[in-house]
Amino acid sequence: MKDKYYFTSESVTCGHPDKMCDQISDAILDACLKQDPNSRVACETATKTGMIVLLGEITTNAKIDYQKIVRDTIKEIGYIDSSCGFDYKTCSVLVAIQEQSNDIKMGVDISDKIVGAGDQGIMFGYAVNETESFMPLSIDLANKLAFMIEKLRKENVLNYLKPDGKTQVTVEYENGLIKRIDTVVISVQHRDDVSLSKIRKDMIEFVVKKVIPNTLLDENTKYYINPTGRFVIGGPQADAGLTGRKIIVDTYGGHGACGGGAFSGKDATKVDRSGAYIARHIAKNIVASRIADRCLVQLSYAIGIAEPVSVFVDCYGTNKVDILKIKDKILEEYDLTPLGIINYLKLRNPIFRKTACYGHFGRENENFAWENLDKVFLFAKLIEKK
In this predicted model, what pLDDT tens digit does every residue of 28-63 receive, in sequence order?
Answer: 999 999 999 999 999 999 999 999 999 999 999 999
In this structure, the answer to whether residues 306 and 335 fall within a common structural domain is yes
Task: Choose the weakest-confidence range: 96-105, 221-230, 303-312.
Answer: 96-105
Q: Which domain holds residue 171?
A: 4-12+138-234
Q: State the DSSP H helix or E strand holding residue 181, giving kind and residue range, or none if neither.
A: strand 177-190
CB count within 10 Å of CB 225 equals: 19
Nearest CA among 180, 168, 112, 111 for reference residue 144:
168
CATH of the domain at 189: 3.30.300.10
- What's the pLDDT tens digit per position in 153-173? 999 999 999 999 999 999 999
* Arithmetic mean of pLDDT, 170-187: 96
Residue 220: is its pLDDT beyond 90?
yes
Nearest CA among 377, 309, 310, 263 for reference residue 23:
263
Residue 104: is its pLDDT beyond 60?
no
Q: What pLDDT is stored for residue 105 in this prediction?
A: 53
Is 214 a member of any domain? yes
Distance CA 60, CA 65 (A): 13
Distance CA 78, CA 92 (A): 17
* Arithmetic mean of pLDDT, 96-111: 64
Distance CA 372, CA 367 (A): 8
CB count within 10 Å of CB 160 equals: 16
Domain count, the chain: 2
Name the E strands within 49-155. 51-59, 80-81, 86-87, 92-98, 121-128
CB–CB of 355/26 below 8 Å?
A: yes
Quote the mean pLDDT of the chain.
Answer: 93
For 109, which DSSP code? B
In this structure, the answer to whether residues 279 and 230 fall within a common structural domain is no
In this structure, the answer to whether residues 293 and 314 fall within a common structural domain is yes
For 194, which DSSP code? S
Strands 161-174 and 121-128: unpaired
Nearest CA among 125, 123, 109 for reference residue 339:
109
In this structure, the answer to whether residues 150 and 125 fall within a common structural domain is no
Among the three residues 234, 259, 291, which one is the final residue of a domain in this structure?
234
In this structure, the answer to whether residues 168 and 125 fall within a common structural domain is no
> For the chain, how many residues are written?
386
Q: What pLDDT is stored for residue 110 in this prediction?
A: 46
Is the pTM of the predicted complex or chain greater than 0.85? Answer: yes
Residue 229: is its pLDDT beyond 70?
yes
Residue 140: is its pLDDT beyond 90?
yes
In this structure, the answer to whether residues 300 and 334 fall within a common structural domain is yes
Residue 114: is its pLDDT beyond 80?
no
Residue 287: is its pLDDT beyond 70?
yes
Residue 119: is its pLDDT beyond 80?
no
Is 226 a member of any domain? yes
Q: What pLDDT is stored for residue 73 in this prediction?
A: 98
Residue 116: is its pLDDT beyond 70?
no
**Residues belonging to the active site:** 16, 18-19, 44, 57, 166, 231, 239-240, 245-246, 266, 270, 272
For 361, which DSSP code? S
